[in-house]
Amino acid sequence: MKNKIFLITMIFFALVCTSSSRTRNSGKAGAPAPEAGQKESLGDRLRQAAHYGDLKLMKRLLKQGADINARSKGGSTPLIWASINGHEGAVRLLLARGALVNARTRGGTTALLVASSVGNLKIVRILLKAGANPKAATKKGQTPLGLARRAGHGEVEKLLLQALAGK
């Protein structure tokens, strides 16, 4: 399962992030990182902590004033990184502290889109309850329902159908 999540993370990383989200040489592939030569901001660190689900570090960074919706140049947010990597606690923390549930990357990707694509039912449920738009589509027209269906995530598909029907 970890390999599958890692692979999906890397695909997401390649599709929607720009060079500002290069991998660090820390041995932890896929983590969002600042541009080479730029000082790492609290927002950069918060995205990294969300990527790894490090709640303790996330709380400390937020207390220090990190922007909860800090974006990479590609537009990815801490909530998107926590969602694609299945960190339920991080998703809950970010939403409770005011993260924008429908924030989009430059390509139009949202946290709900990535959670649906990897089939994480718990994260999809949390995002929908927080007001995520089940009709949101990427610039290429991909929707949460279409991604869940294409990947064979039947339970996520059912939940999204219910959300689309207003149930």
What SS3 string covers 22-40? CCCCCCCCCCCCCCCCCCC
Task: Enumerate the domain spans of the chain.
Answer: 2-164
Instruction: Count CA atoms within 13 Å of residue 144 on its CB side.
Output: 33
pLDDT above 50: residue 88:
yes
pLDDT, tens only, 18-32: 333 333 333 344 555
pLDDT above 50: residue 92:
yes
Q: What is the pLDDT of residue 56?
A: 98
Contact present, 28 and 52 (Cβ < 8 Å): yes
Q: What is the pLDDT of residue 94?
A: 98
pLDDT above 60: residue 126:
yes
Q: CATH top-level class for 2-164?
A: mainly alpha
**For residues 28 and 50, which has the higher predicted lDDT (pLDDT)?**
50
Q: What is the pLDDT of residue 167?
A: 72
Q: What average pLDDT does the chain have?
A: 84
